Amino acid sequence: MAATADHLKALLTAHAEGDDDLFYSVALQVAAKSARQGHSKLAVEIRELIDSARAQKIPRTGPIPVVQPRGELASLLTAGYSDVRLDDMTLAEDVRASLDKVIHEQRQRARLEQFGFTPVHRILLSGPPGTGKSMTAAALAKELSLPLFTIRLDGLISRFMGETASKLRLIFEAAAETRAVYLFDEFDALGAERTAGNDVGEARRILNSFLLFLDEAPSESLVIAATNHRHLLDRALFRRFDLVVRYQPPSPDQAIEVLQRRLTGMNTAAVRWADLTGKVDQLSHAELVKAAESAAKRAILGGDDMIDERLLIDALDERHALRHA
Ligand SMILES: Nc1ncnc2c1ncn2[C@@H]1O[C@H](COP(=O)(O)OP(=O)(O)OP(=O)(O)O)[C@@H](O)[C@H]1O
Ligand SMILES: [Mg+2]
122, 189: one domain:
yes
pTM over 0.85: no
Q: Does 200 have pLDDT greater than 90? A: no
Q: Does 63 have pLDDT greater than 70? A: no
**What single letter denotes the amino acid at residue 91?**
L
**What single letter denotes the amino acid at residue 302?**
G
242, 258: one domain:
no
290 within some domain: yes
Q: Is 122 helix (H, G, I), strand (E, B) or coil?
A: strand
26, 120: one domain:
no
Reference 210, options 247, 236, 179; nearest CA is: 236
* Enclosing domain of residue 122: 73-246
Ligand nearest to the CA of 228: 1
Check residue 116 and report its DSSP letter.
T
269, 134: one domain:
no
The pLDDT, as a whole number, for residue 229 is 77
Reference 316, options 268, 255, 229; nearest CA is: 255
The pLDDT, as a whole number, for residue 75 is 80
Reference 246, options 236, 231, 259; nearest CA is: 231
- From 98, 228, 289, 319, the mutation candidate for ligand 1 (largest count of ligand atoms within 8 A of CB) is 289
> Closest ligand 1 atom to the C-alpha of 135?
18
- From 78, 153, 285, the mutation candidate for ligand 1 (largest count of ligand atoms within 8 A of CB) is 285
Contact 314, 295 (CB under 8 A): yes
Which CATH number goes with the domain that contains 270? 1.10.8.60
**317 vs 264: CA distance, rounded Å:** 21
Contact 149, 79 (CB under 8 A): yes
What share of the chain in percent tops pLDDT 90? 48
Domain ends where: 246, 276, 307?
A: 246
Kindly report, residue by residue over 13-34, the tens digit of the pLDDT: 877 767 787 888 888 888 888 8
* Domains held by the chain: number: 3
Residue 86, ligand 1, Cβ within 6 A: no
Element (H, E) at 319: helix 309-324
Average pLDDT estimate for 46-51 = 87
One DSSP character per residue, 248-290 reads -PPPHHHHHHHHHHHTTTSB-TT--GGGGGGG-TT--HHHHHH
The pLDDT, as a whole number, for residue 94 is 97
Extract long-range pairs of 27-35: CB within 8 Å, 24+ residues apart. Answer: 28/179, 28/220, 30/2, 30/3, 31/2, 33/2, 33/3, 33/4, 33/7, 34/2
The pLDDT, as a whole number, for residue 60 is 39
CA distances 17 to 12, 46, 67, 69, Å, are 9, 22, 14, 16
Ligand nearest to the CA of 128: 1
Residue 47 Cα to ligand 2 midpoint, Å, equals 32
The pLDDT, as a whole number, for residue 129 is 94
Ligand nearest to the CA of 246: 1
Average pLDDT estimate for 176-205 = 74
Residue 258, ligand 1, Cβ within 6 A: yes
Q: Does 197 have pLDDT greater than 60? A: no
Sorting pLDDT into bands at 50, 70 and 90, what band is 64? very low
Sorting pLDDT into bands at 50, 70 and 90, what band is 83? confident
146, 208: one domain:
yes
278 within some domain: yes
183, 267: one domain:
no
Residue 91, ligand 1, Cβ within 6 A: yes
- Angle at CA of residue 284, ends 278 and 288, nearest 5°: 70
Residue 85 Cα to ligand 1 midpoint, Å, equals 13
Kindly report, residue by residue over 158-179, the tens digit of the pLDDT: 777 778 888 899 899 888 888 9
Reference 131, options 286, 316, 322; nearest CA is: 286
One DSSP character per residue, 70-85 reads -GGGGGT-EEE-----
